[in-house]
Structure 1
Amino acid sequence: MSNLVKLPSRKPKVLEFFAGIGLARMGLESAGFQVTWANDYEPDKQALYAGHFKDDSEDHNFVLGDIAKVKGDSLPKDATLAWGSSPCTDLSLAGSRGGIRTGESNAFWHYIRLLDELKDGRPEVAVLENVVGLATSHGGDDLAAAVRAFNDLGYSVDVLALDARRFIPQSRPRLFLVGALNPPKTTDSGHSELRPDWLQAVYGDPTLRTHRAVLPAPPAPLLTGLGDLVEDMSADDDRWWDETRTGLFTASLSPMQLDRIVEMRSSPGTKFRTAYRRTRKGIAVWEVRPDDISGCLRTARGGSSKQAVVRLGDGGLQVRWMTPLEYARLMGAGDYNLSGARTNQALFAFGDAVAVPAVAWLSENYLMPLIRGTLEQSTFELEVAHG
């Protein structure tokens, strides 16, 4: 009779904290994971999540409510991976920069609390995704505190910087902390595109337990592609701004911005650019990106955070707000079910999410190999134990 212990054939299960509308889930499941539990506190996001995934209650449980009220004993004990895209409000350049212990960003500590309460079923790997501002918040102390919190639970931590622009035409740099109870034995000791100089301090801190997994180089950042994702819309669609509003847009541009727009407007062919409204010296102005790439999508709470689309060329200039479908496409989720979604509901939800292809790349090249390697090692040890 053979003593061979077989690897589990099922998909590794995932707990999805701060799930939003499930874009992390889309990336994880494209790599072979199965999200079985999720939590978020915003009903509008949960409504979009449920409308897109249409889960069977036996296979998936979405807990709507404040993470502070979730208890560890209510969580599934068979998950291999925990994913947390905790609020970045107090860490991002667009936020208060109060830090990881302030406001909404303080929710990170409830993620840690729940992992701590999962003593008998702690996931083998735990991921935190956040803005790159976490690396510099309070002079790097917030990042060190986050790494130390994972260390206290037994995880060694790897820290990666990955911009969604490597996969989609949107500038969206994000930080990923990958905690592993059994980190890879082979490590990468050098700097790389994924671990730039400004992240090296965390690896040099002798009070922190870290590792550097050997990973392939990610794709080079895209230089074009926005025009391919712009929604097909006729020139007389009423979503384009009228002449008066477009004139106010043009009048707010700086001389340098205006020169650029005039040049592109007079050139042959159609070109698309994105624009943000910003406050400069107390005055609201519009700024247009010079390249065929979208600026970072944000939570659309007001006009200053919403992104506009500018169509130029052949003597024409038209401006309008970006549509929900364009937001979805620029997050790598062009097939997301938007039926019934209100415009601001969708813009807010996508602007507050993680890009699908960034999660997919990390899952395929890091998380799944790490988990499979751990399972293989456990199987080997069981085989040895059984003779």
Structure 2
Amino acid sequence: MPDIVKLNSARPKVLEFFAGIGLARIGLERGGFRVAWANDYEQDKWDLYRNHFDDESGDHKFALGDISQVSVSDLPRDASLAWGSSPCTDLSLAGSRGGLRAGESNAFWQYIRLLEELGEDRPEVAVLENVVGLATSHGGDDLAAAVRAFNDLGYSVDVLAIDARRFIPQSRPRLFLVGALNPPMDTAEPNSELRPDWLQAVYGDPTLRTHRAALPAPPAPLLEGFGELVEAMPVGDERWWGAERTEAFVNSLAPVQLERIAAMRRSPGVKYRTAYRRTRNGVPVWEVRPDDISGCLRTARGGSSKQAVVKLGNRRLQVRWMTPLEYARLMGAGDYDLSAARTNQALFAFGDAVAVPAVSWLAENYLMPLVRGQLDVAVSGVASARG
């Protein structure tokens, strides 16, 4: 036990808001941090979280309930990092696009409230993770409002776009706002592939305090790899769809897709592709990805949000729903404990999470050096007083 205590004391503490099933925690702890406190309001996610993590030592606290009911007195006062993966329902292209103050996405402001109430004890680094739709919501006003909210607390903000496809075979672009109370002032190269042109407006806004950290180049986006993550399943497994359902799937495909899968079906060996059900001109159809990459996993509350796996080759075609294990692997959490998980519970939870390797890359290359004071940045914008 003394060795464990010593190890934990050397790891900077994290407050994790909107924790879900703890994938951000896994990534942060791989990067050298220790999540000391977490919160989420969904019982199903908490059930998976506590089944996976061993927190019986009492070294970690989880507050189950709406963040609006969390009191600042519940939070540890010595955390170095705050992480918030706030709800994206009203910001994503698949959602209502109501904006940062609408519906569930309004919970972001409760995150800001608690940081504000921490006063001088607020963490030196604060992160917001969300969908890239935040950048275009209300013509960019919502992103500016989020940056300004952190500015009002004394944080300078860097904004990064990172696609999990750089680490895992899943197309999953996300925004990461990194706020720093004390960003270093050394000059660094301001632009990088992590800050595409559509993010540059935030750095040019003179009313915002921003910085751009000098970061290593991230891995190039993967071009393949989904097939390597597919769960082994016998040809006769009952999860493969029957002949009638498979025929309906094939009949819904557009001619160009039919031609593509017919060629793969005739080819030697086995290949895997993912498919989504969409509505085109009022008609539900299936669309198969042309590459060996998964589409973005989503919260599987309806059939249109669930992905199917298509197995092709040796003159055979089979189709089935993607499994919880495949969802976990595609989120970089293949060893997640699913022993007590219901299928839809797991699909929803993983589809609503942040990819582990994207978090760990950010933690290792940005957040930990920033906390340790070992990162160079170029500072721009207008400084604001710490609240």
TM-score, scaled to structure 2: 0.94
Task: Tell me the secondary structure at the aligned position of residue 294 of structure 2.
Answer: coil
Match of 2:240 in 1: 240
Match of 1:249 in 2: 249
> Which amino acid is 1:302 matched to?
G
Match of 1:191 in 2: 191
User: Offset at 1:192?
Assistant: 1.5
Deviations, residues 267-303 of structure 1 (Å, cap 9, x unaligned): 1110000000001111100000000000000000010
Match of 1:4 in 2: none
Over 3 Å counting, the alpha-carbon distance change for 1:192 and 1:374 in structure 2 is: closer
Match of 1:20 in 2: 20
User: Offset at 1:185?
Assistant: 1.9
User: Offset at 1:187?
Assistant: 4.4
Match of 1:364 in 2: 364
| Distance of 1:303 and 1:231 partners within structure 2 | 21
CA contact (8 A) 1:125 1:178 kept: yes
Task: Provide the aligned C-alpha RMSD in A.
Answer: 1.2
Identity level (%): 79
Q: Which has the higher contact order (CA 8 A, sep 6+)?
A: 2
Deviations, residues 327-383 of structure 1 (Å, cap 9, x unaligned): 0000000000000100000000000000000000000000000101179xxxxxxxx
| Distance of 2:58 and 2:9 partners within structure 1 | 19
User: Offset at 1:189?
Assistant: 4.3
Over 3 Å counting, the alpha-carbon distance change for 1:16 and 1:216 in structure 2 is: same
User: Offset at 1:244?
Assistant: 0.3
| Distance of 2:62 and 2:189 partners within structure 1 | 40
Task: Tell me the secondary structure at the aligned position of residue 277 of structure 1.
Answer: strand
| Distance of 1:83 and 1:57 partners within structure 2 | 23
| Distance of 1:56 and 1:374 partners within structure 2 | 34
Deviations, residues 12-67 of structure 1 (Å, cap 9, x unaligned): 00000000000000000001100010000000000000000021252000000000
Task: Tell me the secondary structure at the aligned position of residue 120 of structure 1.
Answer: helix
User: Offset at 1:73?
Assistant: 2.0
| Distance of 2:36 and 2:126 partners within structure 1 | 15
Q: Which runs of 5+ in 1 are unaligned?
A: 1-7, 376-387
Match of 1:73 in 2: 73
| Distance of 2:186 and 2:248 partners within structure 1 | 58
Match of 1:3 in 2: none
| Distance of 2:97 and 2:57 partners within structure 1 | 39
Q: Which runs of 5+ in 2 are unaligned?
A: 1-7, 376-387
| Distance of 1:181 and 1:121 partners within structure 2 | 12
| Distance of 2:85 and 2:184 partners within structure 1 | 23
Task: Answer yes or no: is 1:208 the counterpart of 2:208.
Answer: yes
Deviations, residues 146-184 of structure 1 (Å, cap 9, x unaligned): 000000000000000000000000000000000000012
Pairwise mapping of residues 310-321 of structure 1 onto structure 2 (< 5 A)? 310-321=310-321
| Distance of 2:309 and 2:258 partners within structure 1 | 16
| Distance of 2:346 and 2:15 partners within structure 1 | 24
CA contact (8 A) 1:186 1:214 kept: no
CA contact (8 A) 2:190 2:213 kept: no
CA contact (8 A) 2:191 2:212 kept: no
| Distance of 2:119 and 2:87 partners within structure 1 | 25
The worse-fitting range, judged by mean Cα deviation, of 52-61 and 18-27 is 52-61
TM-score, scaled to structure 1: 0.94
CA contact (8 A) 1:274 1:310 kept: yes
| Distance of 1:74 and 1:332 partners within structure 2 | 31
| Distance of 2:221 and 2:200 partners within structure 1 | 22
| Distance of 2:188 and 2:286 partners within structure 1 | 44
User: Offset at 1:213?
Assistant: 0.6
